[in-house]
Amino acid sequence: MFNHVTEVPKTHDEEYEESRPTASVKQVSYPTPTSSINTANCPVVADSKDFLISMKTGATELYAKLPEHLMTTLRCVPNYMIFSDLEQDISDYHVHSALEDVSDKYKYSHRDFEFYRRLLDLAAKGQDLSLMKITTQAHGSAWDLDKWKFVPITHKTYAAQPDAKWYIFLEADSYMAWPNVLELLAQYDPGKPWYLGAVHFFGDTAFAHGGMGYFISNAAMRKLDAIWDRKHITKWERMTAEGCCGDVDLGAVLYEAGVNLTGIPGLYGEGVTWFEWDPERWCEPAISWHHMRAHDVESLYQFETKWLGKGETHYVYRDLFVNLVEPHIASTRSDWDNASRDRIYTGLEGLHGDEDRRFKKKTIWSDLEEQEQEDVWRELNDGRKESIENDGYYLKDNRWDELSDEERETAFSELHDWEQVAHESLRNCRVACEEWNECMQFFYSTTGTGRCHLHRRVRLGHYLDARDVEVDEDTGLAVNRTTSGWMMDRVRDMKDRAERCESVPNWMRKYAENERLNESD
């Protein structure tokens, strides 16, 4: 099942595995990664001796997401492996199984593998596995199965090419900016144990978010390989069975191997449609995107090809905004949702708060938890402390959805006049955005009594098909027509105020030096 197996005393789990008819431990000869591909006209090509790319996908989405990568991003990297739930071929490209090495006791009995067992059955019958996404033929889901892939894929990738300097992991709905990726990795010594990614926490476990991609150095892989034995594998599989997420498990496994996570910039969990453009990230080099559709992958690939074809070597978010976003925003656009979500107005019954906005609610002081009382008390002045001691009530800051109907009426009456009527018309919605000095864009829909959404940062959003418009039979008016708009003067001001960007190599060198200094402290 696994390479590099070390003899250790048997546990109950191991004895169980050995009692099964089919041995779950076997020596595997891993296939050679793809290396003979046509890289003509590619914007950049990663050296096959130094980098091995691992792309993870699922059997039900293989034909929806993978072909676009094979024609674009993967065409320009000579060394990659593709992993899915099952071993398959797509045209001339081989897809490796991420799950074949998982112990039989889990594959053939654990609830997470109900979906997998149904996949095996349908594949044996020659059926279209993508139909599993829209049928109820199997309990469980691809998400339940996905968490089991991370740790095995990491080891299989290393075993396929143990002399690569860097191992790059991404998913089929991700996009990596190879020119910037290669420049970033050049700042770190692969002879040291690096685990680089977007830092997240699950409890006390630090892990790199899988969808945004992550990078593991050769030295880190060697540390993991040093403890790749039956004893550890049994424990890790049990952890996966009981845990939530594969990227969390991988973070824990690497930590056990003595490899800590280091945060890097430029990895985000949105695609271009939902990305928030602001001066803080203006000069940051783009590294990866997540939740990308095939069309999004193609758009970024075309931009990258044209941009580097002009003699440029790298790009930052400013360049993407100017080329991919700014040409498509205007003072108004019909049948468009620009993903404004910070403030939502739909009248008294609407949502008038956001994460930064609170409304006062009369709360019985004794109902607060002891720790909350201590935290609040430290921040109160003597007058408010005396008031609480006298009447036992505290005016607590609450979100809109935490208010009672009566409290909402009071809160609504205290809103600005332009907020109270923002939902009534497109004009009122625009006025609300103008009045709120943080607002960069708005969205208005005629649905119901009207909806007005405001947002602090610039988002592109997406087209809404006008054919889906509903018409009121009595009035003949559209009841859910949508319009988006941007405060173009504020957008121009944002660009004018943004700092002048230095070269990407200098920016990354300074970032990496700061990270190393922080780690030494």
pLDDT in tens, 366-409: 888 888 888 878 878 888 888 888 888 877 777 777 777 777 78
The pLDDT assigned to 357 comes to 66
Mean pLDDT of 326-337: 94
CA distance 176 to 340: 26
CA distance 280 to 458: 12
CA distances from 383 to 360, 390, 453 (A): 17, 11, 38
> Average model confidence (pLDDT) for the chain?
83
Give the tokens for residue 213: 């991609």
Angle at which helix 178-185 crosses helix 504-520, to 10 degrees, equals 40
The pLDDT assigned to 76 comes to 82
pLDDT in tens, 303-323: 999 998 888 889 999 999 999
Give the DSSP per-residue string, 103-162: -HHHHTT-GGGHHHHHHHHHHHTT--GGGGGS--SSSS-HHHHHTTTHHHHHHHHHHH-T
The pLDDT assigned to 23 comes to 30
358 vs 330, which has greater pLDDT? 330
Whether residue 19 is predicted with pLDDT greater than 60 in this model: the reply is no
pLDDT in tens, 104-131: 989 888 888 888 888 888 888 788 788 7
Tell whether pTM > 0.85.
Answer: no
Whether residue 134 is predicted with pLDDT greater than 70 in this model: the reply is no
Residue from 453, 448, 452, 438 nearest 490 by CA: 438
183 vs 386, which has greater pLDDT? 183
Mean pLDDT of 90-104: 91
152 — pLDDT class (breaks 50, 70, 90):
very high
Mean pLDDT of 67-74: 89
pLDDT in tens, 239-284: 999 988 999 999 999 999 999 999 999 999 888 889 999 888 899 9
CA distance 361 to 363: 6
CB 183 within 8 A of CB 314: yes
- Ordered by where they begin, the domains of the chain are 48-263 (3.90.550.50), 329-357+419-500 (no CATH), 359-398 (no CATH)
The pLDDT assigned to 120 comes to 85
Angle at which helix 150-160 crosses helix 246-256, to 10 degrees, equals 60
The pLDDT assigned to 94 comes to 92
Helix (H) or strand (E) holding 305: helix 294-309
C-alpha radius of gyration, the chain, whole number: 27
The pLDDT assigned to 443 comes to 95
